Chains A and B, each alone.
Chain A
Amino acid sequence: MKDFNGQVLFLDRSDINTDEIIPAKYLTEITKAALKPYLLEDLKLRNFSTDNIPGKSIIITRENFGCGSSREHAPWALEVNGINLVIAENFARIFKQNMFNCGMMAIELNKEQIDEIFKTFASKETSIETNFLEGSLKIKSSDADMEIIFKVSEFDKALVEAGGWINYADKNY
């Protein structure tokens, strides 16, 4: 199973699309590793620069993350940068499927929770400890902490436990 713990990168915007996550011009790359330097290259966002990415393992963002094309290069670009968990209000369907297919997690929380997290933590160094079996997140900064329960479907859970759809399918079919 992948690691879902670590430092948080906050992206305070809705509708971040797959072109912003990884621009189309890199689709001719034939290895996932080659995508590493280009993650979020075209994302225009106040207080964000790609220099913020190193050392981060989790993204927290707003609504409809991963909309646009079906390219699986988007989760891969996250994965090769050590980011296996994205937390948002909701996701585009194919992006979410692609995340779990890769054994990664796309966790949906409600608007109030996301608002609260941004308010409490977004301006500080923040880390998360994920208890996958219990379905809970411990969010921590130097002066605050918060525990949040999350839900993913049984099938998605099984994909994460197996390390992705390939391992799951290899074992079961």
Chain B
Amino acid sequence: MGKTIAQKIFDAHVIDNPSGDINVIKLDAVFCHEITTPIAINDLKEREMDRVFDPAKIKAVIDHVTPSKDSKTAEQAKIMREWARSQNIKDFFDVGQNGVCHALFPEKGFVRPGYTIIMGDSHTCTHGAFGAFAAGVGTTDLEVGILKGVCAFHYPETIKIEITGNLQKNVYAKDIILSIIGKIGVNGATNKVMEFTGPVVDKMTMEERMTLCNMAIEAGGTSGVCYPDSTTVDYLWEFIKDDYSSKEVALEDFFKWHSDPDANYSSVITHDISLLQPMMTVGYKPDEVQEVNGNEKIKVDQIYIGSCTNGRIEDLREAASVLEGHTINTDVRGILSPATPDVYKQAMKEGLIDIFMDAGFCVTNPTCGACLGMSNGVLASGEVCASTTNRNFNGRMGKGGMVHLMSPAVAAATSIAGYITTPDKL
């Protein structure tokens, strides 16, 4: 019987099998941010175990609320900062260099095919786009990861999702993942890895694959994963060129992180996207997904473009191409948070920031901020936001607020119209 990519990664990392199908695996990277890490740091101090297993394998960022907005968030940031310094963690990103973790860390080349990664953040599944096993965990798991470089998981079962067909105009990776979550539900992949394959994924850029894997957790998935291929090699080449004599050699090596043809899956889903239309969420659960057509004319108060789902350069290009030459409706406020400083700089070079600002958008620094209702665009009660983020839970972007999830293109069209609509209807 063959193995899935997740099983191959486990087999290469398992160091103990304490009971049943529990595998203790060693970790290639532990990612940290300022919301979930400070309590782990304090607890390690209390236990007089204030160490890290390998400072080079720990990557840390202040991203959720930055620059700090009040005394409590300032304290969280301070703990991270002092810890990174005292533990000699070189890859630490503070104000000026920081951006949303799941956009920043791939950009820095911290994720490689075959890696095992944990973080105290549920959207850690994003990094599976590179053919890695990456999972969100609780604070104790994070703490053990920091201290020992290991984590315990059940041996992974996988749902294979084969994406076929041809994408229509104005339909993007975000629409695909929304449609998958709508189909299988918020518990549809609980305890499972979601393996995204097929001709549509093969043609996707790394950014698109990250958007896809980012939302695996919204279907309950432990992680999302894509096979590493020449697109992966091209993206990572700058970081791996000393390790491989040529891109072909790297590609050959990465091939070991593909599932075997006879691998055992808990289920296989074929998802044809030829007829897929722009999608959005309508309720307080990410599986309450409907076509934008039919939900038009929902008035919105705020448009938010950013986050680890859709705050990357391609997302900004997509939104800017809709916005160019337009101004946003006078009844709405538009907020753009480029996900990282590099995305921000690139967008400036390409003139995208001008397009956003000329249209009337407020451009904030890279941060999670409004995505989790912490800063830079919190909703008031009764307000509605068209958002490119990944969670529409009740109160997510502010108590009493309503969030509709959608692609950057639909969000941009909505900002011009003042109500939810697709770019072709403008």
Interface residues of A (CB under 8 A from B): 24, 27-32, 69-72, 76, 93-94, 97-98, 101-102, 153-155, 158, 164-166, 169-170, 172-173
- CA–CA, A27 and B22, complex, Å: 30
- CA–CA, A80 and B67, complex, Å: 31
> Which residues 132-181 in B have Cβ within 8 Å of A in the complex?
136-141, 143-144, 147-148, 150, 152
**Is A153 a contact partner of B79 (Cβ separation < 8 A)?**
no
Q: Which residues of A contact B79 (CB under 8 A)?
A: 30
**Is B75 a contact partner of A98 (Cβ separation < 8 A)?**
no
**Is B18 a contact partner of A98 (Cβ separation < 8 A)?**
no
B266 within 8 A of A: no
**Is B150 a contact partner of A169 (Cβ separation < 8 A)?**
yes
Given A98-B138, A164-B140, also A169-B39 (CB < 8 A): no
Q: Which residues of A contact B24 (CB under 8 A)?
A: 173
**Is B35 a contact partner of A169 (Cβ separation < 8 A)?**
no
B69 to chain A, nearest CB (A): 10
Please, how many residues of chain B have a CB less than 8 angstroms from a CB on the other chain? 35
- CA–CA, A153 and B152, complex, Å: 14
Given A93-B190, A155-B22, also A32-B39 (CB < 8 A): yes
If A97-B141, A169-B148, A170-B148 are given as contacts, then 7 extra A-B residue pairs at C-beta distance below 8 Å, sorted by A number, are A30-B38, A30-B42, A70-B136, A70-B138, A154-B19, A170-B49, A172-B18
**Is A173 a contact partner of B16 (Cβ separation < 8 A)?**
yes
B1-45 vs A: 1/0 string, CB under 8 Å? 000000000000001101110101000000000010011001100
Q: Select B39's contact among A30, A70, A154, A172, beta carbons within 8 Å.
A: A30
Q: Which residues of B contact A153 (CB under 8 A)?
A: 19-20
Given A31-B42, A32-B39, also A101-B18 (CB < 8 A): no
A169 to chain B, nearest CB (A): 4
Q: Which residues of A contact B191 (CB under 8 A)?
A: 93
- CA–CA, A97 and B361, complex, Å: 43
B45 to chain A, nearest CB (A): 11
- CA–CA, A154 and B22, complex, Å: 10
B76 within 8 A of A: yes
Given A155-B19, A173-B24, also A31-B39 (CB < 8 A): yes
Chain A's closest residue to B144 (CB) is A169
B85 within 8 A of A: no
- CA–CA, A148 and B42, complex, Å: 38
- CA–CA, A155 and B19, complex, Å: 6
- CA–CA, A94 and B76, complex, Å: 24
Q: Which residues of A contact B15 (CB under 8 A)?
A: 173
B73 within 8 A of A: yes
**Is A70 a contact partner of B122 (Cβ separation < 8 A)?**
yes
Q: Select B147's contact among A30, A170, A172, beta carbons within 8 Å.
A: A170
